Amino acid sequence: MLGDVRRYGNYFVAVIFFTVGLLLLDAIRMPLPGAAQPGMKRKGVLAGTFTEVVQRYLHWTGRFRGAVIVKRVCGALVLLGGLYLIYTAR
Phi–psi pair at 33, nearest 5 degrees: -65, 135
**Among the listed ranges 10-14, 23-27, 38-42, 75-79, which one has the minimum average pLDDT value?**
38-42
Angstrom distance (rounded) from CA 66 to CA 51: 23
Domain ranges in the chain are: 6-30+45-87
Angstrom distance (rounded) from CA 66 to CA 2: 40
For residue 87, what are the contacts with CB-CB under 8 A and spacing of at least 6? none
Note the pLDDT of residue 7: 84
62 band by pLDDT with thresholds 50, 70 and 90: low
Angstrom distance (rounded) from CA 46 to CA 48: 5
Per-residue pLDDT averaged across 47-75, rounded?
75
Q: Please state whether the predicted TM-score (pTM) of the whole model is above 0.85.
A: no
Note the pLDDT of residue 37: 55
Q: Decide if 89 contacts 11 (C-beta within 8 A).
A: yes
